[in-house]
Amino acid sequence: MSVASQTPQERSGLWHALTELYHVFNTNKTSWVGLIIFLIIAVLALLAPWIAPHDPLEQNIVDALQPPSDTYWLGTDSFGRDVWSRILWGGRISLFVSVMSIGIAMVVGGALGIVAGYKGGRIDQVIMRCMDVLLSFPTLVMGLLVVAVLGANLTNLIIAIALTVIPKFARIARAPTVAVKEQDYIEACRALGYSDARIMFVHILPNVVGEVLVLASLWTATAVRIEAYLSFIGLGVKPPTPTWGGMIRQGFEYILDAPWMCIYTGLAVLILVFSLNLLGDGLRDAIDPKLRNE
């Protein structure tokens, strides 16, 4: 749709959602802290090719299992590879998998939820029952099964995580849709002859965005962990590509001689997950009317 054909309300709808989001950020300062930590990690991971002091794949057997030093800030692994450089590169995989999978889940799940809520009736029943069934699997077990069946690689990892999270987004998007669809301005849209798609994704969507974004940041945190777990089990991206889960698994085998491999890589996972949880938790408190007056 071109900008010219947009009605003023349509543009202000999205604008309103964005200003609301900024306001929400300011209501709860912890979400700023979370966002800043997350951005720092993201920038470090993105700049890995330029700022990593060593090649993450370069083996140097002479320097194997070195403790942290000036040359190797966080020590080396059993192949003499620099742990800090591998953490930076591993962060790229972690962030890519989690952001992609949650992005897909957000779009697909959000759309399903809006359609279910807006259409109601049998369509609603079918979509939501399917979601309930998917929801009943533990995320990790479902992820394990899907990767095991489809094969372990980057794409399947993303699909597996997205599949387990889609139902959560569908549920969260459905509730506000049901509440909003009876309002006068939606009725007015119908009277003007707007298509269902236009009503759903232009007029209802801004009402759903807030809660979906909160859920997205919280579930990105979970996705980071699931990716790490699957790599830890050996179902993630294959070595020698550095992944945090894979590095922890390898480090665990040398826990007596070289605990730094586990400790620092685990710390990286923890900080990333914590920052996303801070972000999501702060946003949730800020948009929850029950907690707003705290």
Tell me the window of 8-16, 96-104, 118-126, 222-230 that interacts with another protein (CB under 8 A). Answer: 222-230
Binding part of the chain for another protein, among 16-24, 42-50, 84-92, 256-264 by CB under 8 A, reads 256-264
Answer yes or no: are the C-beta atoms of 254 and 65 closer than 8 Å. yes
Considering only residues 152 to 181 of the shown chain, the ones binding another protein according to CB under 8 A are: none
Q: Which of 1, 61, 149, 191 binds another protein (CB under 8 A)?
A: 149
Task: Name the one residue in this structure whose structure tokens are 């359609």.
Answer: 115
CA angle centred on 267, ends 261 and 273, rounded to 5°: 140
Q: 68 CB contacts (<8 Å, ≥6 apart)?
A: 74, 75, 260
Q: In the bound complex, what is the minimum distance in angstroms from residue 125's beta carbon to another protein?
A: 13
Question: Which of 25, 32, 96, 137 is close enough to bind another protein by CB under 8 A?
Answer: 137
Where does this chain touch another protein (CB under 8 A) — which range of 3-11, 76-84, 183-191, 223-231? Answer: 223-231
65 versus 233: smaller Cβ distance to another protein = 233
Touching another protein, residues 194-213 (CB under 8 A): none
Beta carbon nearer to another protein, 45 or 144: 144
From 102, 113, 12, 27, select the one nearest 287 (Cα to Cα): 27
Residues 6+ apart with CB under 8 A from 6: none
Minimum CB separation of residue 74 from another protein in Å reads: 15
Q: Where does the chain have alpha helices with state H?
A: 8-27, 29-46, 48-51, 83-119, 121-135, 139-150, 154-180, 184-191, 196-198, 205-233, 244-253, 260-287
Residue range at the interface with another protein (CB under 8 A); choices 103-111, 119-127, 144-152, 183-191: 144-152
Main-chain phi, psi angles of 182, to 5 degrees: -85, -5
Q: What would the x/- binding string for another protein be over residues 93 to 132, using CB under 8 A?
A: ------------------------------------x--x
Residue 82's φ and ψ, nearest 5 degrees, are -70, 120
The nearer residue to another protein, 47 or 270, going by C-beta atoms, is 270
Rounded CA separation 120/134 (Å): 20
The span of 18-26, 43-51, 188-196, 264-272 binding another protein (CB under 8 A) equals 264-272
- End-to-end C-alpha distance for the chain, whole angstroms: 42
Q: Which of 35, 228, 237, 286 binds another protein (CB under 8 A)?
A: 228
Residues 6+ apart with CB under 8 A from 48: 56, 85, 88, 89, 91, 92
Enumerate binding residues for another protein (CB under 8 A). Answer: 129, 132-134, 136-141, 144-146, 148-151, 221, 225, 228-229, 232-235, 248, 252, 255-256, 259, 262-263, 266-267, 269-270, 273-274, 277-278, 281, 290, 294
